[in-house]
Amino acid sequence: QKEVEQDPGPLSVPEGAIVSLNCTYSNSAFQYFMWYRQYSRKGPELLMYTYSSGNKEDGRFTAQVDKSSKYISLFIRDSQPSDSATYLCAIDTGGFKTIFGAGTRLFVKA
Amino acid sequence: DVKVTQSSRYLVKRTGEKVFLECVQDMDHENMFWYRQDPGLGLRLIYFSYDVKMKEKGDIPEGYSVSREKKERFSLILESASTNQTSMYLCASSFPAVTEAFFGQGTRLTVV
């Protein structure tokens, strides 16, 4: 079983839609959860991070962690064409290692 | 503006060649990383370094080596390139015990 599972998509939505991106993980000891956004032909950039369970909101983006089900989510409200990118979930395992999901490609159509 | 710069955006090399990928960061970060990114597999850690001249193997170090002679520079070396090393290579850096990593723009390497 992979430590982090993420559906690679692609996911195509119309402009203005609410987008839900998800990952599952296997180790209940993980505490730091992140979402990176990667535009085409660019490196990933940190979008949001959360510690332990709960929600964190930043503008149109909400990151959610459910440790009981080992499920992490990223919600994008009022999606825009500029949100078209690959979104990678990531988990800091402590020490130097970060585990990345495969990434979900998102297309927002105008 | 923080910056991680990789020396090449695109490279085409022949099987058996020795290949050098260079990465420079201007943020005085102690930690530096090399990942490869393949469709469906995400980012996989090849090597990392937490100080000058220090290096640690990641998950897939076979066929690769690294060099860190200066704090700002981290090089990835493919000793004898093979076609299964065709991939996107990403360099990253961070402060110790800090979650966020800063990535370069990536080098797309094709081995023919």
Q: Is the pLDDT of residue B97 over 90?
A: no
State the average pLDDT over residues B21-31: 95
Chains A and B form CB pairs within 8 A to the count of 50
Yes or no: say if B93 and B31 are a contact pair by the CB < 8 Å rule: yes
Provide φ and ψ at A87, rounded to 5°.
-110, 125
Shortest CA distance from B56: residue in chain A = A96
Report the share of chain B in percent with pLDDT over 90.
Answer: 88
Does the structure show a pLDDT above 70 at B48? yes
Name the pLDDT band for B2 (thresholds 50, 70, 90): low
**Å between A1 CA and nearest CA of chain B:** 13
Q: What is the DSSP letter of B83?
A: G
- Residue in B35, B40, B90 nearest the CB of A8: B40
Interface test with A, best of B68, B99, B102 (most A CBs within 10 A): B99
Q: How far apart are CA B19 and CA B24, in angstroms?
A: 17
Most confident of A3-12, A28-37, B19-28: B19-28
Q: Which residue has the higher pLDDT, A93 or A47?
A: A47
pLDDT in tens, B68-91: 999 999 999 999 999 999 999 999
With b for 16 or more beta-carbon neighbours within 10 A and e for fewer, the B22-55 pattern comes to bbbbeeebbbbbbbbbeeeebbbbbbbbbeeeeb
How sure is the predictor about A80, in pLDDT bands with cuts at 50, 70 and 90? very high
Q: Which residue among A43, A49, A102 places its CB closest to the CB of B104?
A: A43
Return the pLDDT at A4. Answer: 92
pLDDT at B95: 86
At residue B19 the predicted structure's pLDDT band, cuts being 50, 70 and 90, is very high
State the greatest distance between any 2 C-alpha atoms of chain A, in Å, as a whole number. 42
| pLDDT of A1 higher than 80 | no
Average pLDDT of the residues in A64-74? 94
How far is A45 from chain B, CA to nearest CA, in Å?
7
Asked if residue A47 has pLDDT above 80, the reply is yes
pLDDT mean over B12-40:
95
Tell me, what's the pLDDT at B4? 96
